[in-house]
Amino acid sequence: MTARTDPPTLDVHDVTVRFAGLTALDGLSLTVAPGSVHALIGPNGAGKSTCFNVLSGLCRPATGTVRLGGTELTRLAPHRIAALGVARTFQNIVTTDGTVADNLLLGRHALSRAGFAASALRLPTAVREQREHRARCREIAELVGLDAHFDTPVAALSYGDRKRVEFARALCLEPRVLLLDEPVAGMNAAERARTAEVVRDVRAHLGLSVLLVEHDMGLVMRLADEVTVLDFGRRIAHGSPEDVQRDPEVLRAYLGTGTPEEGAA
């Protein structure tokens, strides 16, 4: 697999989201630079998932804009945002019955050019396209370490491997920006380390940008180029992982301490 050209910048500007009088995001602005890993962190209820829902089209903000390069995403439906190259995973595993290959092929659906009739009748063009999609799914399975399980039922896999299936399915959309929502939640130490390695490999091989929501600060420190910190829907810090880790406001709001030495532990 060859590296692709740099993806466009993802720019979130002054986004506010309210639910029944509750402000979930309060004038949030952040920029995901092309090809970078940008972490979005904060305590529970800080607005991280709401941000992801705005970026993927599941939630519309009261004010503000989201742009991918020259295209505004703010009012687009989720399927249109996905078609522009924004894919996401979820905190909880979302897979279907069937094999790893079956699940990954679902990620190629938006890229299919053959119509329903051609696919149903198994016309040569549809058969050829399906073969190409399956070959690409196998490449992605290999990249994330699932090649040995390609034809294995998802239900027979370990928790960590099932999380990687969801990750791989998002990659099958050929995204330019990947939204990873707590990719190592519930994993043991070995699975977390393996997933961190996979994220690095994916960024290097596919040349995409990653916006990462994660509570595992060790993973954030290892992977992120930049970090944005939320608290009660408001951005309280932004910068390199090292700078953010030592920011006094972050230590109070997120790490639960007022000293860099304790927060860095």
Residue 186 is predicted with a pLDDT of 87
In 3D space, the residue among 158, 140, 264 whose CA is nearest the CA of residue 198 turns out to be 140
pLDDT band at residue 21 using 50, 70 and 90 as cut-offs: confident
- Report the pLDDT value the prediction gives residue 157, as an integer from 0 to 100: 93
Residue positions counted in the chain: 265
Q: Are residues 3 and 45 in the same domain?
A: yes
In a domain, 264, yes or no: no
242-252 average pLDDT score: 88
pLDDT digits (tens, 9 = 90+) for 37-95: 999 999 888 999 999 999 999 999 999 999 999 999 999 999 999 999 999 998 777 77
pLDDT for the residue numbered 262:
39
The domain tally of the chain equals: 2
pLDDT for 180: 96
Q: What is the pLDDT of residue 154?
A: 94
pLDDT class for 103, splitting at 50, 70, 90? very high
Task: Report pTM.
Answer: 0.85
Quick one: 215 and 165 in the same domain?
no
Q: Which of 155, 174, 193 is the last residue of a domain?
A: 174
CATH number of the domain bearing residue 202: 3.40.50.300
Task: Mark out the alpha helices in the chain (DSSP H runs).
Answer: 48-55, 78-83, 100-106, 116-120, 124-143, 159-171, 189-206, 217-223, 241-245, 248-253, 260-263
Q: Is position 265 within any domain?
A: no
Break the chain down into helix, strand, coil percent, rounded to 5. Answer: 40, 25, 35
- One domain, residues 250 and 200: yes
DSSP 29: E
Which residue, 174, 203, 218, sits at the end of a domain?
Answer: 174
Q: What pLDDT score was predicted for residue 128?
A: 78
44: exposed, middle or buried (Cβ count in 10 Å: 0-12, 13-18, 19+): exposed
Print the domain residue range for 112: 95-174
Question: In this structure, is residue 90 part of a structural domain?
Answer: no
pLDDT for 261: 40
Query: Are 210 and 169 found together in one domain?
Result: no
Q: Which of 174, 191, 210 is the last residue of a domain?
A: 174
Q: Which helix (H) or strand (E) holds 248?
A: helix 248-253
Q: Say whether pLDDT at 3 is over 90.
A: no
Give the confidence band of 111 by pLDDT, cuts at 50, 70, 90.
low
What is the distance between the alpha carbons of residues 183 and 96, in angstroms, rounded to a whole number? 18
Q: Dihedrals φ, ψ of 139, to 5°? A: -60, -45
Give φ, ψ of 9 to 5 degrees: -70, 135
On whether both 146 and 159 belong to a single domain, the answer is yes
pLDDT exceeds cutoff 50 at 260 = no
Residue 130 pLDDT > 90: no
Same domain, 181 and 250: yes
